């Protein structure tokens, strides 16, 4: 196997024996095969569109399948094999509709296994030019992030044919069915197009979320516990959470959020359930330490799942997530999760905990914009930091905790995604009547942050890069790659990125990022703060 798609890749270069994430060589191989077959399906999809055949079902399937290959999503060989077989069937059916001979597709298991021996992470014909190879990987990993957000959006009924067309085009790029020949410039253009496509995917997802659950509003969230049976919900899928809240209503089972589900508390429709009791635990990489003590059932709706060693009998999955041996809930029927929660002891007493705040979504931030601008004009607000992105296991990630703790009192800290768990419970105080730490939501709410920054810039008649605003980002998996590409496509400069730079970025591409966008790796909190605020 060879996989280098995430930040914890072995030795900073690539996992070759087994994934640091827990991915086996078998799972890696089948995920590569899946990407390869999805490229074939996308090529057929392009022909189908050219022939005037629309096929939303295949578009939805492609993003769902690609999402299964993201870091910490699906480790279940059986589920992945089913998806592979489904992809093959869909490709054959589409080929038949197009009048192509299904046996003529180069799709037999032997053929694609042979092809895959030449490929890396599902990239067939990976270029021998290190920079082109790097751009191809940036595109594929960014595309996986886009697929995750497009999948969430589609589940909420939000689709865009142009976004689907880009996903097909980007999947076909570099495959044996690609008719275009690109030089490095052509690949980089496609990489930036991927960033724009991701902005669209996040926009659709925001529309789906706010139309379904309401605009997020600032909401206190308890880190304590309520006496009674309990279910913990992790991941990003708010529709799953809604279904679970509906199905547990009146059962006496309390529902707690975990990880990226924390911002759910800000959505009026979800907040209305009185048994949405609070938040438990911190970021994904602490789950093996924190979940064994949770006295109820646990549901993973998306990444990041880790090996539930020793507590797998209370862990359930839904959507694209899979762990071998854990019960997978389909059709948003969470009866097995509820039954298990009722068997488990639950919390034996009420324990009030700290309260934190979430729910500073786009509308709330836009409403606060005049106050923010006034504070800037009066010299009361010196700078805004957006400290966001993924969390992870590396010790260097303590940088983000220290950075936020050291931000001066006349600054604001916006945050989003699971990286916030490094500082989400810190008391940073207030600036006027605004809390200094503002949680804007999940990773996909980077859309809200971008739009807020653009609105501030428009009012001040300047560019986003001219605002007293700095991006200090942490990355781990492919959704963070897609968000980074979005920021680059929007021309946002001076991003600080950590805790380490991606293994798949070649030295020349890194130079280009530095020259054109002034991206820089994080250094120390003191040094970075001093440079930003000078």
Q: What is the distance between the alpha carbons of residues 194 and 147, in angstroms, rounded to a whole number?
A: 11
Q: Does 167 bind ligand SF4 (CB under 6 A)?
A: no
Which residue of 177, 256, 284, 421 would you call a contact of ligand SF3, by CB under 6 A?
284
Give backbone dihedrals phi and psi of 38, rounded to 5 degrees, phi first. Answer: -65, -30
Q: What is the distance between the alpha carbons of residues 72 and 22, in angstroms, rounded to a whole number?
A: 8
Q: Does 479 bind ligand SF3 (CB under 6 A)?
A: yes
Nearer to ligand SF3, 15 or 431 (CB): 15
Q: Does 5 bind ligand SF4 (CB under 6 A)?
A: yes
Six-digit token string for 210: 């706010």
* Distance from the Cα of residue 93 to its chain's centroid: 32
Name which of residues 285 to 304 contact ligand SF3 (CB under 6 A): 303-304
- Look-up of token digits 């069937």: 89
Q: What is the distance between the alpha carbons of residues 40 and 23, in angstroms, rounded to a whole number?
A: 24
For 321-347, the DSSP string reads -B-TTSEEE-TT--HHHHHHHHHS--B
Q: What is the distance between the alpha carbons of residues 363 and 374, in angstroms, rounded to a whole number?
A: 18
- Cβ proximity of 446 and 236 under 8 Å: no
Q: How many residues bind ligand SF3 (CB under 6 A)?
A: 16
Tell me which residue of 437, 502, 513, 508 sits closest to 475, measured CA to CA.
502
Which range of residues in 127-135, 209-217, 472-480, 497-505 is near ligand SF3 by CB under 6 A?
472-480
Tell me which residue of 443, 498, 442 sits closest to 472, measured CA to CA.
498
If contact means CB under 5 to 8 A according to the sort of partner, which of ligand SF4, ligand SF3, none does residue 68 touch? none
Q: What is the distance between the alpha carbons of residues 260 and 336, in angstroms, rounded to a whole number?
A: 23
Q: Does 390 bind ligand SF3 (CB under 6 A)?
A: yes
Nearer to ligand SF3, 259 or 296 (CB): 259
- DSSP three-state, residue 43: helix
Which range of residues in 14-22, 153-161, 217-225, 524-532 is near ligand SF4 by CB under 6 A?
14-22
- CB-side neighbour CA atoms (13 Å) of 42: 25
Residue 143 Cβ, how far from ligand SF4 at the closest point, in Å? 15
Q: Does 199 bind ligand SF4 (CB under 6 A)?
A: no
Compose the 244-263 pattern: x for residues touching ligand SF3 by CB under 6 A, - for all others: ---------------xx---
Tell me which residue of 46, 63, 37, 181 sits closest to 119, measured CA to CA.
37
Give backbone dihedrals phi and psi of 317, rounded to 5 degrees, phi first. Answer: -130, 160
Q: Does 443 bind ligand SF3 (CB under 6 A)?
A: yes
Which residue of 31, 71, 282, 486 would you call a contact of ligand SF4, by CB under 6 A?
71
Q: Does 482 bind ligand SF4 (CB under 6 A)?
A: no
Q: Does 45 bind ligand SF4 (CB under 6 A)?
A: no
Compose the 42-81 pattern: x for residues touching ligand SF3 by CB under 6 A, - for all others: ------------------------------x---------
Residue 204 Cβ, how far from ligand SF4 at the closest point, in Å? 26
Q: Which residues bind ligand SF3 (CB under 6 A)?
A: 72, 236, 259-260, 284, 303-304, 390, 417-418, 442-443, 476-477, 479-480
Q: Which residues bind ligand SF4 (CB under 6 A)?
A: 3-6, 8-9, 15, 19-21, 23, 71
């Amino acid at each position: 196997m060879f996989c280098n798609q995430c930040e914890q890749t072995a030795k900073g270069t690539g996992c070759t024996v087994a994934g640091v994430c827990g991915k086996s060589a078998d799972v890696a191989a089948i995920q590569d095969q899946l990407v390869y077959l999805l490229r074939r399906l996308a090529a057929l999809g392009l022909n189908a569109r050219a022939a005037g055949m629309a096929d939303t079902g295949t578009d939805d399937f492609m993003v769902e399948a690609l999402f299964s290959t993201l870091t910490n999503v699906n480790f279940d060989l059986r589920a992945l094999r089913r998806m592979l077989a489904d992809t093959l069937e869909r490709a054959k059916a589409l080929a038949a509709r197009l009048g192509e001979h299904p046996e003529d597709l180069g799709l037999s298991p032997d053929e694609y296994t042979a092809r895959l021996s030449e490929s890396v992470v599902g990239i067939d014909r990976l270029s021998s030019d290190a920079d082109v190879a790097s751009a191809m990987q940036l595109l594929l990993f960014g595309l996986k992030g886009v697929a995750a957000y497009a999948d969430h959006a589609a589940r909420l009924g939000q689709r865009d044919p142009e976004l689907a067309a880009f996903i097909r085009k980007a999947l076909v790029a570099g495959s044996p069915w690609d008719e275009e020949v690109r030089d490095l410039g052509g690949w980089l253009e496609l990489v930036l197009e991927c960033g724009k496509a991701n902005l669209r995917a996040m926009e659709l997802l925001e529309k789906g979320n706010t139309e379904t659950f309401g605009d997020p509003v600032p909401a206190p969230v308890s880190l304590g516990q309520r006496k009674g049976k309990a279910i913990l919900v992790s991941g990003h899928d708010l529709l799953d959470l809604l279904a679970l809240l509906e199905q547990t209503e009146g059962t006496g089972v309390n529902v707690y959020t975990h990880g990226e589900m924390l911002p759910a508390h800000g959505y009026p429709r979800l907040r209305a359930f009185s048994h949405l009791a609070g938040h438990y635990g911190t970021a994904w990489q602490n789950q093996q330490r924190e979940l064994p003590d949770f006295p109820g059932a646990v549901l993973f709706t998306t990444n990041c799942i880790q090996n539930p060693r020793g507590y797998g009998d209370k862990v359930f999955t839904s959507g694209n997530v899979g762990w071998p041996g854990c019960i997978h809930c389909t059709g948003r029927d969470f009866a097995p999760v509820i039954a298990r929660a009722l068997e488990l002891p639950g919390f034996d007493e009420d324990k009030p905990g700290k309260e934190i705040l979430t729910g500073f979504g786009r509308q709330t931030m836009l409403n606060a914009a005049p106050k923010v601008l006034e504070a800037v004009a009066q010299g009361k607000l010196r700078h805004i930091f957006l400290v966001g992105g993924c969390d992870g296991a590396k010790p260097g990630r303590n940088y983000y905790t220290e950075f936020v703790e050291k931000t001066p009192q006349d600054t604001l800290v916006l945050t989003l995604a699971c990286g916030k768990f490094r500082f989400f419970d810190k008391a940073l105080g207030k600036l006027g009547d605004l809390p200094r730490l503002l949680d804007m939501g999940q990773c996909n709410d980077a859309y809200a942050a971008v739009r807020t920054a653009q609105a501030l810039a428009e009012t001040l008649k300047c560019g986003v890069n001219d605002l007293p605003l700095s991006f200090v980002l942490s990355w781990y998996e492919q959704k963070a790659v897609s968000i980074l590409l979005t920021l680059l496509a929007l021309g946002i400069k001076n991003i600080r990125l950590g805790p380490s730079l991606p293994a798949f970025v070649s030295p020349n591409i890194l130079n280009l990022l530095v020259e054109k966008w002034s991206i820089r790796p994080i250094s120390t909190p003191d040094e970075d703060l001093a440079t930003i605020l000078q």
